[in-house]
A and B are shown apart, each in its own frame.
Chain A
Amino acid sequence: MPVYNIIQAVNDALRIEMRKNPNIVILGEDVGNFGGVFRATSGLQEEFGKDRVMDTPLAEAGIIGSAIGMALYGLRPVAEIQFSDFIYPAFDQIVNELAKFRYRSGGEYPAPMVIRTPYGGGIRGGHYHSQSPEAYFAHTPGLKIVIPSNPYDAKGLLLSAMREEDPILFMEPKRVYRASRGEVPEGEYTIPIGQAKIVRPGKGVTVLCYGSMVHSVLDAVDKQGAAEFDPEIVDLRTIVPFDGEAILESVRKTGRVVIVYEAPKTCGFGAELSAFIAEKALLHLEAPIARVAGLDTPFPYTLELEYLPSPERIAKAIAETARY
């Protein structure tokens, strides 16, 4: 079985689906001739031509707006936003148009498409190459949000995303784009959207995470001593819709919860998870729900490792929650 990193897994999924489905088109800044600034679309324009792999002008509203048009017409666009920090010029198109087309047309005009975008910090990128904007979009009914943490999931989830009937925001953890490597089966396989994965079973504390934070949590457990508290690590993989059943099953077992996300703490996605658990499993809890998150500040440059949930900070929260 080949060993891929996340970029290679994404590339493989795109190639497989483009070969199979002539309606798939790719568009974005520098995705064609160059193959994307992270090389995720490398070689695709060569194989599928400029009509199906389009280098666009530098305009995110144009990328998403025109992709919506293509989807309305029956194509399956996979749009790339070069960094999720640059998604905001397209915010109106995503929030007011893409997410609402099916609803406002009473199902006459659904616009199924995928927006791929690298997100997250830890790459010395400062404010504008590090953000994690998932919560803005999670607050927008009509969008599904998938955030894989490793190559195997990235491929299977992206293949599913390209076959979904709904718009998908597919956020790729760029800090571990190359660092996360693993065996990826050749050919097709899919992973259902909305299904979490137990990365490490345990009975002590439920640790909910997704994307690159899965790796920080694993470091907290393997390298910072949190293993002694027998944590159960749950990789959500999809945050909208999230796998409530898997979360509750784990929480009922452990009675203790730590939620880890790198976006600013306030109104981050962990707030929703915390409310959900409080609503559904309060009486199973033996400790307050803990959140380890980014600070409520813009993403810094020099002090980014202090800003991000570090393995040390995560381990401390796991220990405090376990001992409560």
Chain B
Amino acid sequence: MRGIGSIEGCAPSIEHFVPQQYLAPDGSFDAARVAALGIPRELLMKLYRGMLLIRIIDERMLTLQRQGRISFYGEARGQEAAVVGTAAALGKSDYVLPALREAGAALYRGLPLRTYISQIYGNENDLTKGRQMPCHPGSRDARYVTMSSCIATQLPHAVGMAMAAKLRHDPVVIAGYMGDGATSEGDFHVALNFAAVYRAPVVLVCQNNQWAISTPVAGQTASPTIAHKALGYGIPALRVDGNDVLACYAAMRDAVAFARAGGGPIFLEALTYRVSAHSTSDDPSRYRDESVTAVWKSERDPLCRFRHFLRVIGALSDGVDSALHEAIEAEIKSAVVAEEAARPPALATLIEDVFATPTEALREQLAEVAAALPAHPHS
């Protein structure tokens, strides 16, 4: 296996695929091991803020959806550690190609909250001009590539971007995210194969939340772990407790360093759980035992675990925690007020960006639409 010995924690053989962990679900940890990670307190707090931000936004957006104020929402609840822990290990010039639940990574990378919420409203402020459903952000500034709803299609793109970075000798690493379900698609296999053959500097991150809508991971693959699949392509792989933000950060930091140093692609499986519904269009009680979910939602909650850790090491007081909550809530509230008041995108945006310049046919079609809209609902 190429590069396997050069990175600590990489599975030398399949028997060693025990997920790495620093913070146990019960909150206990080995202080010396954690200290050896050398994560500065400032970064610990940044991780916490990033996770908390996702949690609070998700709760708020869910309420808005239930009130009929936004059409749809997909939460990342319970996966905050995997999202933020991995995102935090990337550099500013690295790129993220997300799957469904990495919006928190975009925010962590500096996507303004207003931009995120304007995309959810699909309004005139939306950088992507109201073209996609909520939860499909994207921005060049944040180096967060606008996602597609189509599962696994981003993975070959991640590999291609990494091939390009290598070709130009840029010290850039690409992170390609996926869910467990995505690992069944052809694009997943194509991506891994290309990544390995071209030794592309890509970190492929699978958020294994154990469900793809109603399909449990056992219905997705007969492979003992998802990380095994990478080994088959000659790609070293790591497995982490995805609800332990320190483990996610540490493993991703190693993986990014490995790829940046010319080691080629590397695969990271973060083991977590989709504690929420697939989306606001879904009702998981129809297909799974929600008492199992309840355990993941309480005892294994990544945010509680990390909060407990921060309290024990004296990094987070009740006062700081509630001030942080209040600040985030206030920021979301004012963003929602502003974006809800914004208008829909102008009618002319309908035909923009199909090509660099709209064709004559498109302009004609737009005129036809405009002519039939005397009482235009958005004008």
Contacts and interface: CB of A to CB of B under 8 A. Distances in A.
B182 interface: yes
Contacts of A300: 130-131, 350
Interface residues of A, number: 40
A295 B350 contact: yes
A89 B123 CA distance: 31
Contacts of A139: none
B362 A125 contact: no
A269 interface: no
A302 B372 contact: no
Interface string A28-48: 011001110100000000000
Nearest to B188: A59
A296 B361 CA distance: 8
Nearest to B287: A34
B186 interface: yes
Contact of A129 (B149, B185, B344, B366): B149
Interface residues of B, number: 53
B122 A302 contact: yes
B133 interface: yes
Given A58-B151, A316-B371, A301 B131 contact: yes
A270 B122 CA distance: 31
B347 A306 contact: yes
A126 B282 CA distance: 18
Given A34-B213, A128-B149, A300-B350, A305 B377 contact: yes
B132 A312 contact: no
Contacts of B219: 55, 57
Nearest to B182: A58
Q: Is the interface of A mostly helix, strand, loop or mixed?
A: loop
Contacts, number: 130
B347 A303 contact: yes
Interface in B99-129: 122-123, 126
Nearest to A302: B130
B322 interface: no
A295 B369 contact: yes
Contacts of B345: 302-303
Interface in A99-141: 124-129
Given A34-B214, A124-B72, A312-B374, 19 more contacts: A30-B215, A34-B286, A37-B281, A55-B215, A55-B219, A57-B184, A57-B219, A59-B186, A89-B187, A126-B131, A126-B149, A128-B133, A128-B150, A266-B361, A296-B362, A298-B131, A301-B130, A303-B345, A313-B372
7 contacts: A57-B215, A126-B132, A127-B131, A295-B365, A296-B365, A298-B131, A303-B349
Interface of A: 29-30, 33-35, 37, 55, 57-62, 85-86, 88-89, 124-129, 265-266, 295-298, 300-303, 305-307, 310, 312-313, 316
